[in-house]
A and B are shown apart, each in its own frame.
Chain A
Amino acid sequence: GAGVSQSPSNKVTEKGKDVELRCDPISGHTALYWYRQSLGQGLEFLIYFQGNSAPDKSGLPSDRFSAERTGGSVSTLTIQRTQQEDSAVYLCASSLESSGRPGAKLFFGSGTQLSVL
């Protein structure tokens, strides 16, 4: 597609339920990032995928959070046993440039607004 696509755009769930958020990066982009943005706050790095390398999971806040990227393209962020503090906008971004190259530009999707009741 023309840009990074995320689905759903909005998700309302009950505390304790599991949720899956999807990201379709720009075709051909090798790098994919997940960020979380709480209301009025900056972006919090969650996880980074680059090609076939092991993902950088250092930003995941707890073991309830996991992500995978199948076939080097689509990524799914899963949150198990959701809590109210998980409510936020979850943003996905992709980048064409390979690891370490300067000038990498991130292209962001519009995000998924997650509300945990």
Chain B
Amino acid sequence: DAKTTQPTSMDCAEGRAANLPCNHSTISGNEYVYWYRQIHSQGPQYIIHGLKNNETNEMASLIITEDRKSSTLILPHATLRDTAVYYCIVRDYNFNKFYFGSGTKLNVKP
């Protein structure tokens, strides 16, 4: 049970910001939002996570709405190497299963 809804695919021009949305309308107070990505033929790679505040690291920014029912992952300057499947996951503080869902296939085009 993935608990998240993401678009199947998105396109982005190289050098532009990529904004990947995720709906998690049933999220509860203990659940964190995580983002991972999977580049072809590799295992998924951690990007960022958050609870309710916006977060930023060297890879991306995570914007979580005030009601926490949706979030957006932002890659500020997408490159061709960012082409991957991006997974939005909610994870309960007290449980350790990460449910990955089907993710969004991001195609970065030159």
Contacts A110-B42, A111-B43 known; A100 to B96 CB distance under 8 Å? yes
Q: Bound state CA distance, A31 and B98, in angstroms?
A: 12
Which residues of the other chain, B, contact A48 by a CB distance below 8 angstroms? 96-97
Most chain A CB within 10 A, of B42, B43, B45, B94, is at: B43
User: Count of chain A residues with Cβ under 8 Å from any Cβ of B?
Assistant: 29
Q: Bound state CA distance, A19 and B93, in angstroms?
A: 34
User: Count of chain B residues with Cβ under 8 Å from any Cβ of A?
Assistant: 24
Which residues of the other chain, A, contact B2 by a CB distance below 8 angstroms? 42
Q: Which of B53-93 contact A (CB under 8 A)?
A: 87, 91, 93
The answer to whether A103 and B49 touch across the interface, beta carbons within 8 angstroms, is yes
Most chain B CB within 10 A, of A43, A56, A103, A110, is at: A43
Q: Bound state CA distance, A74 and B58, in angstroms?
A: 32
The answer to whether B43 and A109 touch across the interface, beta carbons within 8 angstroms, is yes
Contacts A42-B2, A42-B101 known; A110 to B96 CB distance under 8 Å? no
Selected from A33, A91, A100, the residue in CB contact (under 8 A) with B94 is: A100
Contacts A42-B87, A102-B32, A103-B49 known; A4 to B43 CB distance under 8 Å? yes
Q: Which of A1-59 contact B (CB under 8 A)?
A: 4, 31, 33, 35, 41-45, 48, 50, 56, 58-59
0 or 1 for each of A90-107: is its CB under 8 Å from B? (1 = yes): 010101000110111111
Chain A interface residues (CB < 8 Å from chain B):
4, 31, 33, 35, 41-45, 48, 50, 56, 58-59, 91, 93, 95, 99-100, 102-111
5 interchain residue pairs of minimum CB distance = A108-B43, A43-B100, A42-B102, A105-B46, A42-B100
Given A43-B87, A48-B96, A105-B49, list of 15 further CB < 8 A pairs? A4-B43, A33-B98, A42-B2, A43-B100, A45-B99, A56-B97, A59-B97, A93-B44, A99-B96, A100-B94, A100-B95, A106-B46, A107-B46, A108-B42, A111-B43
Mind listing 15 A-B residue pairs with CB under 8 Å? A33-B96, A42-B101, A43-B87, A48-B96, A48-B97, A56-B97, A58-B97, A59-B97, A91-B44, A100-B93, A102-B49, A106-B44, A106-B98, A108-B43, A110-B42
